[in-house]
């Protein structure tokens, strides 16, 4: 089997460069003939390499970097139309690593992250397809609105040096600029018109480092979680952020939130305001835009022992095996209980004698 490690050498304060040899040793031990590719400042270098490897029938592509590197690798894989795409693994060494959070991949420890491949736990992950002038894909979040400019508004050098602090600084600068605009949202044949300040179309439960923005999101159910923020009042926005940070999920029913599940979503501005689209932290064109969910579009290694059961669906084969496993466990428990009762009776008889 062939694997290609596609890594961003500047991501996460350049931590990945210290572990290349250890990562290669691990992958070789798992049966992969592994080579490496370091991304460059050239536009879309990770995407071009991922597409090349996909066309050459590589079995596994390992994306090492932040959410931007991962997004490029996803776009490279999806751009090659084959019946069998490479599997994907993630080594998160970026600033927020939202997708890795959702899959419970160890962050900031490249060797621990690549060991997930050795567990051989693979899940078909939903992929979002974007139909606008960008014409690209995303695997975690599509967003629009002032605060969603954060990830591409923060310069790469600031991300490398200051990490999450760079986002907080930029966020404080952008917050007073949040304002509502009228939009038309069409989803699964239904249409609503609202004045909104932010738009989130999520595939996982993790956005901007918050792991409960879409608490009921599943990784592979073929549905987006659409969140519309209907206020631009600074006090109300801060209150919403506090609720999200609390992790209780109460924001789902807040009067300033519209919370929708859908497999096809279209966003259309109803005035001259520009809605710039953020795809997994990268610029993705502007509205009008339509999103389609490609159910289980890419097979990805995940730490399924840690991912909550409610965050993904099992296919029919897995469900059947789960039923068999539970039945086996119940039968084994019965046998063990019978054995304990028998041993207890034998001990009582011995004591009487």
CATH of the domain at 92: 3.40.50.10330
Q: Does residue 330 sit within a domain?
A: no
User: Is there a single domain that holds both residue 193 and residue 304?
Assistant: no
Query: Cα 138 to chain center, whole Å?
Result: 9
In this model, does residue 108 exceed pLDDT 70?
yes
List the end-to-end C-alpha distance of the chain, in Å, as a whole number.
66
Average pLDDT over residues 188-202: 92
Strand, coil or helix: 285? strand
CA distance 69 to 18: 18
DSSP structure string for 134-200: S--EESSEEEEESGGGHHHHS-HHHHHHHTHHHHHHHHHHHGGG---EEEEEEETTEEEEEEESEEE
Overall number of domains in the chain: 2
CA distance 201 to 290: 11
Per-residue pLDDT at 293: 96
| Positions marked active-site | 282
Contact 266, 187 (CB under 8 A): yes
User: Is there a single domain that holds both residue 53 and residue 39?
Assistant: yes
Strand, coil or helix: 288? coil
Contact 16, 8 (CB under 8 A): yes
User: Is there a single domain that holds both residue 149 and residue 283?
Assistant: yes
Q: Does residue 305 sit within a domain?
A: yes
CA distance 204 to 287: 22
Q: pLDDT digits over 74-92, tens only?
A: 999 998 877 789 999 999 9
Q: Does residue 333 sit within a domain?
A: no
Per-residue pLDDT at 244: 67
User: Is there a single domain that holds both residue 258 and residue 217?
Assistant: yes
Domain that holds residue 143: 137-296
User: Is there a single domain that holds both residue 279 and residue 304?
Assistant: no
Q: Does residue 353 sit within a domain?
A: no
Contact 300, 312 (CB under 8 A): no
User: Is there a single domain that holds both residue 161 and residue 288?
Assistant: yes
User: Is there a single domain that holds both residue 27 and residue 154?
Assistant: no
The neighbour count for residue 35, using CB atoms within 10 Å, is 14
- CATH at residue 170: 2.60.200.40
Per-residue pLDDT at 233: 81
Is the link from the previous residue into 33 a cis peptide, with omega within 30 of 0? no
Per-residue pLDDT at 163: 46
Q: pLDDT digits over 36-58, tens only?
A: 999 998 989 999 999 999 999 89
Q: Does residue 352 sit within a domain?
A: no
Q: Does residue 325 sit within a domain?
A: no
Domain boundary among 272, 296, 320: 296
| Strand locations in 190-322 (E) | 190-196, 198-202, 224-229, 257-262, 264-269, 276-279, 282-286, 289-301
User: Is there a single domain that holds both residue 158 and residue 304?
Assistant: no
Per-residue pLDDT at 123: 93
Q: Does residue 131 sit within a domain?
A: no
Per-residue pLDDT at 289: 94
Per-residue pLDDT at 159: 45
Domain boundary among 246, 273, 296: 296
Name residue 207's beta-bridge partners: 210
Q: pLDDT digits over 272-307, tens only?
A: 988 989 888 788 888 999 999 999 999 999 999 988
* Lowest mean pLDDT, pick from 29-33, 51-55, 251-255, 259-263: 251-255
Q: In angstroms, what is the C-alpha Rg of the chain?
A: 23
In this model, does residue 323 exceed pLDDT 60?
no
User: Is there a single domain that holds both residue 81 and residue 164?
Assistant: no
Per-residue pLDDT at 25: 95
User: Is there a single domain that holds both residue 120 and residue 218?
Assistant: no
User: Is there a single domain that holds both residue 210 and residue 304?
Assistant: no
User: Is there a single domain that holds both residue 162 and residue 276?
Assistant: yes
Per-residue pLDDT at 26: 96
* Lowest mean pLDDT, pick from 158-162, 206-210, 269-273, 293-297: 158-162
């Amino acid at each position: 089997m062939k694997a290609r490690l596609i890594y961003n050498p500047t991501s996460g304060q350049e931590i990945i460069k210290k572990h290349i040899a250890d990562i290669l040793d691990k992958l070789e031990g798992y049966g992969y003939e592994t080579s490496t590719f370091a991304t460059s400042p050239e536009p879309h270098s990770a995407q071009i390499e991922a597409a090349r490897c996909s066309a050459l029938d590589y079995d596994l592509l390992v994306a090492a970097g932040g959410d931007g590197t991962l997004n490029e690798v996803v776009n490279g894989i999806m751009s090659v139309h084959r019946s069998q795409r490479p599997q994907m693994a993630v080594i998160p060494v970026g600033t927020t690593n939202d997708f890795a959070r959702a899959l419970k991949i160890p962050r900031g420890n490249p060797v621990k992250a690549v060991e997930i491949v050795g567990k051989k736990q693979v899940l078909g992950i939903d992929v979002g397809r974007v139909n606008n002038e960008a014409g690209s894909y995303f695997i975690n979040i599509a967003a629009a609105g002032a605060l969603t400019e954060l990830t591409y508004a923060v310069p790469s050098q600031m991300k490398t040096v200051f990490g999450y602090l760079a986002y907080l600084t930029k966020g404080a600068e952008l917050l007073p600029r949040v304002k509502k605009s009228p939009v038309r949202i069409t989803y699964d044949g239904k249409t609503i018109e609202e004045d909104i300040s932010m738009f989130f179309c999520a595939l996982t439960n993790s956005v901007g480092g918050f792991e409960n923005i879409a608490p009921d999101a599943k990784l592979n159910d073929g549905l987006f979680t659409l969140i519309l923020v209907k206020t631009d009042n600074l006090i109300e926005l801060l209150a919403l952020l506090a609720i999200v940070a609390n992790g209780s999920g109460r924001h789902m029913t807040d009067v300033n939130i519209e919370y929708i599940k859908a497999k096809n979503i279209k966003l259309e501005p109803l005035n001259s305001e520009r809605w710039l689209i953020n795809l997994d932290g990268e610029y993705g064109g502007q509205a009008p835009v339509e999103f389609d969910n490609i159910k289980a579009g890419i097979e990805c290694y995940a730490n399924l022992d840690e991912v909550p059961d409610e965050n993904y669906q099992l296919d029919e084969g897995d469900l059947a095996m789960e039923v068999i496993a539970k039945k086996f466990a119940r039968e084994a428990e019965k046998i063990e209980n019978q054995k304990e009762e028998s041993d207890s009776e034998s001990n009582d008889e011995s004591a009487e004698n």
